[in-house]
Amino acid sequence: MASGGEQKVVLITGCSSGIGLRIAVLLARDELKRYHVIATMRDLRKKDRLVEAAGDTYGKTLTLLSLDVCSDDSVRQCIDSVKDRHIDILINNAGVGLLGPVESISMDDMKKVFETNFFGTVRMIKEVMPDMKKRRSGHIIVMSSVMGLQGVVFNDVYTASKFAIEGFCESMAVQLLKFNVKLSLIEPGPVHTEFETKMMEEVAKMEYPGADADTVRYFKDVYIPSSIDIFEALGQTPEDIAKCTKKVIESSRPRFRNLTNSLYTPIVAMKYADESGGLSVHTFYNLLFNFGSLMHITMSILKCLTCSCLRRRTISPD
């Protein structure tokens, strides 16, 4: 048990793999045992990887519950099963991606992304927020993305879902401040996960009915190779994001926005440097369509831009 008080109850969504799994294990392995982690996932048949990574913390500082963020009943039942419905820290990590030309994506598939990434997060916050406000205590963490700040071509719907949750949280943070409840966004750039790797492999092979031949060619022959270059040059690991998240949780004055990758600071800053929006749009256009062959060099230059002044604007895993 942590000295100086009881363990904080931390509920995390989307823990079957990737970032959610790593956050759950990192907090459960805290040397001071400050956290009781409730790791959740939609399908408990996918628990093996988490249980293995948790090791001897499983059943002690880490427990497992079933939770589907897209279901009102599932969310309510999960929170009801927690003692006194008491959650100190809610980490909204569950999310899905969607990539490709918009013309070839069904409206139903678009709605599924928003149902998980936006409404799923809102559903969780609505369920735990009343008790936090009543206690005048609590911390809500939302796993957003740099794509919640800067749009990325061919990620139109995913980006829109992250912009939506950023706007929701920016509005909600003002109210919660009055109740002494903290709200923090974690904004990673590219993260090396099996999910991302598998998605890249699949989209390169898919057909895209409804999209014209030029658009499909730009997507497969220009965007995909460039995206792979970016992942290789700028990508962080799920462990990096977990360490950043732990830092935010343990900060006495946690920031509202927390970019995890200092290499993205100039990219985000560029958007706000030109109120017309043209600078960022034309820069990304040129990077993708006019200087695609120089992408490797561009990534190297971006790496060199990492300096102390940029790092201060991010939350570092180190």
Q: What is the pLDDT of residue 269?
A: 86
Q: What is the pLDDT of residue 197?
A: 72
Residue 33 marked ligand-binding: yes
Q: What is the mean pLDDT of the chain?
A: 90
Residue 257 marked ligand-binding: no
- 212 pLDDT more than 50: yes
Residue 318 marked ligand-binding: no
Q: What is the pLDDT of residue 2?
A: 47
Mean pLDDT of the region 204-209: 88
- 301 pLDDT more than 80: no
Mean pLDDT of the region 102-120: 98
Cβ–Cβ under 8 Å, residues 186 and 245: yes
Residue with tokens 């109210």: 175
Residues 38-77 have pLDDT tens digits of 999 999 999 999 999 999 999 999 999 999 999 999 999 9
Q: List, in order of start, the domains of the chain with CATH numbers.
A: 8-212+236-266 (3.40.50.720)
Q: What is the pLDDT of residue 295?
A: 56
Per-residue pLDDT band at 4 (split at 50, 70, 90)? very low
Query: 71: helix, coil or strand?
Result: coil
- As a whole number of angstroms, the distance between CA 51 and CA 44 comes to 11
Tell me which H or E stretch contains 193: none
Catalytically active residues, by annotation: 158
| Residue with the larger pLDDT of the pair 196 and 307 | 196
| Percentage of the chain modeled with pLDDT above 90 | 71
- As a whole number of angstroms, the distance between CA 159 and CA 142 comes to 15
Residue 157 marked ligand-binding: no
Q: What is the pLDDT of residue 236?
A: 93
Q: Which of 111-115, 170-174, 314-318 has the lowest mean pLDDT?
A: 314-318
Q: What is the pLDDT of residue 5?
A: 61
pTM of the model: 0.91
- 195 pLDDT more than 80: no
Mean pLDDT of the region 9-18: 96
Kindly report the three-state secondary structure assignment for every residue of 196-236. HHHHHHHHHHCCCCCCCHHHHHHHHHHHHHHHHHHHHHHCE
Residue 229 marked ligand-binding: no
As beta bridge partners, residue 12 has: 39, 91
Per-residue pLDDT band at 314 (split at 50, 70, 90)? low
Residues 236-262 have pLDDT tens digits of 999 999 999 999 999 999 999 999 998
Per-residue pLDDT band at 104 (split at 50, 70, 90)? very high
- As a whole number of angstroms, the distance between CA 278 and CA 17 comes to 38
Q: What is the pLDDT of residue 8?
A: 98
- 309 pLDDT more than 50: no
- 299 pLDDT more than 80: no
Mean pLDDT of the region 95-102: 94
Mean pLDDT of the region 183-204: 85
Q: What is the pLDDT of residue 3?
A: 41
Q: What is the pLDDT of residue 142?
A: 98
Q: What is the pLDDT of residue 232?
A: 78
Close Cβ partners of 73 (under 8 Å, ≥ 6 residues apart): none
